[in-house]
Homo-oligomer: A and B are copies of this chain.
């Protein structure tokens, strides 16, 4: 079975190619876009106090808006990693390997 994130990466690559967008999808353009999308995700929770988040997310519209922002972040992150030739999941697993050394389970 094909890996979900590999399929997503290939789909986004095809999507960009079909629109002649690779010339826009430079690392710095995508880094700025990523900052924009994470800002939109942050803004979804900006006026919701910690104690109100659970109720907020129980609202299907609010949840759908948040899922939409999460999607945009993953989309731009996947494109960014693709144009920079970085394997996203491998990079994340390598980082967790190191974190397992830095933060032993009993700590904190």
Chain A interfacial positions (CB closer than 8 Å to B): 1, 3-8, 11-12, 15, 18-21, 24, 26-29, 31-43, 45-51, 53, 57, 63, 66-68, 70-75, 77-78, 80-81, 84-86, 88-89, 91-96, 99-100, 103, 105, 107-108
Q: How many copies does the complex hold?
A: 4
In the assembled complex, the Cα of A15 lies from the Cα of B43 at a distance in Å of 20
- CB neighbours of A37 from chain B (8 A): 39
Measured between alpha carbons, how far is A99 from B6 in the docked complex, in Å?
Answer: 19
Classify the secondary structure of A's interface with B: helix
**Residue on B nearest A66 in the bound complex, by CB:** B84
Q: A26-B49, A70-B77, A86-B70 are in contact. Are A96 and B15 (CB under 8 A)?
A: yes
